[in-house]
Every structure is written in structure tokens, then in C-alpha cells.
Copies of this chain bind each other. A is one copy, B any other.
């Protein structure tokens, strides 16, 4: 009886310490880049008393994985304590020789005897880390099995959701952006559209571009708006630029702004957005931003390809002109596409809403 109580108390204390470590791992991971093809991952190493030995995050493709960063962050004076240590991770440790050795092996080699992860690795070539660890005698388990509070696991899932969905489907996570007036217009009758939304919305949209692997527009938008599609901040274009992709059979005019740098652009002469997304996945893209126009957005929505809607709505009324989306095939209101609001934010005078399809996570 006494033994059982002590055991319960010990595992409760451990679950709490590991829950804090998972929260911290998420916090670290969020500092990593969304773009670049790799998941954002955080790792916290704990000694048997629950004190932090080292922590790390993954800074993107070509950089060491979070586990390696955390292991190398342990001070020399405490390296011996790695023997018997616990690793708490947002994502299951990888188990393949990529540009870095498998993290499963690195954790085991360092003496770690317990590995807790929140999200299973959806990548067939990298998965199996937990199973291998168990096969060599390491206690490898999920955060749920470790008794960690569901909220911490949910944060890790949200952090990893878009990348994991892309890898599982072998198709990038697609965010569709609209920037409209209150009456849903993206341009006036004469085609002018600069600017409907305000400076705070536009700055926000640039930061989203910077976090994406590719920005996609239709040839119609190139003809109508001649967008540069670069990611800029107050100081001008950023050093890292998403790939700019034009979709459609029309030519891209020689003087089009997106032909000029910085960064690369690419024209895909098709209307088949699924094929375009698969091609972009092959290039390593996991996050793609669709910036219009109304026809391409309609096609993406009809095909069920849009994972997330980013809607900037300005307190402006136009009364006519170009609507944000065309050709949804909806004739009666019960067939309208309904989304679930994930978050809302005020940006200057504008509203910003993130939504996902009803039923999606």
C-alpha cells in the first residue's frame, strides 16, 4: 500500500516535470523556421531529479537536429549525468542517416535511458526511432503514455500539424490568402487593388511569405496586379525568399516584376494544382501559400486542397469589382464552404482570421 502510493506520487511528479519540459521544448521549437522543408523540433534533457541538463531546437535543413543540439549543450561538468537521463521531445527522434546521424542512436549512445515524444514521426524514411530505442532497452514512450497533461501534447501537435500533414500526404500544406474589403472585393471595377488592406495587414502578410517555401499565383493575377511576391520587411526584401510560382497556360510577360529577383521563380503551364503541389513537394516544399486570384482559389477550394485560410478583411466597401473567389460550384447556401475559425486578430483597422475546413484538426 505504502509502496503503491510512493510510486504514484513519483510518477505524478515525473509527469509534471516532463510536462514542463515538453512545454519548454515547444517554446524552443517555435523559434525554428517554418520554411525550409524540415519540421520544427524542440528537445529538453532532464536528469533523474527532473532538472534540465540541456536543451535545443532544430534551426532548419542542414543544421543539427534538436536532440544533437541539446546533447552538445550539456556542460562538460554534467556530461556524466546523461547516463540515466530523460529526453523530452516534440517529435519522435528520427532513425535514418540523413545529413545528420540518427537521433535515436545519438540519444542511446549518450546514455539516455528514457525518451518521451509528443508527435509520432510521419515520415516513412525517418520513422521507427521509438521502436528501435525500445529494442535496445531504452524506455521510449509517447507523452500521453508518460501521463503528461494533454494541453502540452496539443501544443506540440499544433506546432507540427502542417509539416506532418504535408509529409503524410506527400503534398505541401496549402494556406490560401485573401485580402478583401468587407464586401469581399479584391479589386475595383477598373482592376485597381492597391491598397484595400492597411499597412499592418501587409506587413503581416510579408512575414507569412517569409515563413513559406513557395508562393503560388495564377497567370491572371500576374496580368492584373503584376505582383513582386517577394517577402519584405521595413528594410526591404529579406535574404531568404520563397520560390515564386506562376500557374496557368498564359505567358508571363517579359516585364513582369516577379521575373526579377531576389529569389527564384518558376512557371508551371497547367491548371492542375494538385500536380503543381506534388511537384513542389518534390522540390522539398512543405508549406505553400496561394495568393490568388479568384479563379485559382476557386479551383483549389473545389479540389479540397486548401488546408488553411488566411483572410485579411479591411473596413472598406467597394460595391462592385472583382470578388475574392469564383467558380465554387455553390448555388444554395447550405452548400457554401464552411470553415472553423482557429484564431482572429486585429491588424490596425483590419481583421485577420485563420480558419480551417470544418472537421479538420
Contacts and interface: CB of A to CB of B under 8 A. Distances in A.
Nearest to A194: B333
Contacts of A334: 192
Interface in A184-224: 184-185, 187-190, 192-196
Interface string A322-361: 0111111111111111111100101011110101000000
B192 A324 contact: no
A147 interface: no
B318 A330 contact: yes
A319 B182 CA distance: 15
A284 interface: no
Contact of A333 (B178, B193, B331, B348): B193
A346 B349 contact: no
A192 B332 contact: yes
Nearest to A185: B184
A328 B317 contact: yes
A315 B336 contact: no
A182 B254 CA distance: 34
Nearest to A327: B319
Interface in A155-199: 178, 180-185, 187-190, 192-196
B328 A318 contact: yes
Range class of the A interface residue count: 35 or more
Given A180-B183, A183-B184, A346 B341 contact: yes
B313 A317 contact: no
B189 A325 contact: no
Q: A187, A298, A341 — which one has the most chain B CB atoms within 10 A of its CB?
A: A341
Contact of A323 (B184, B336, B338, B341): B184
Interface string A128-143: 0000000000000000
A354 to B, nearest CB: 9
A318 B346 contact: no
A316 interface: yes
Interface in A9-39: none
Q: A178, A327, A349 — which one has the most chain B CB atoms within 10 A of its CB?
A: A349
Contacts of A355: 315, 349
A336 B318 contact: yes
Nearest to A178: B182
Kindly list the 9 A-B residue pairs having the minimum CB-CB distance in the complex, ordered from nearest. A184-B184, A319-B328, A315-B339, A183-B184, A192-B333, A315-B355, A341-B349, A188-B333, A317-B337
Given A184-B185, A188-B333, A320-B331, 19 more contacts: A182-B339, A183-B184, A184-B323, A188-B330, A189-B332, A196-B333, A301-B319, A309-B317, A313-B351, A313-B353, A316-B337, A317-B328, A318-B333, A318-B337, A321-B333, A341-B346, A341-B351, A349-B355, A351-B353
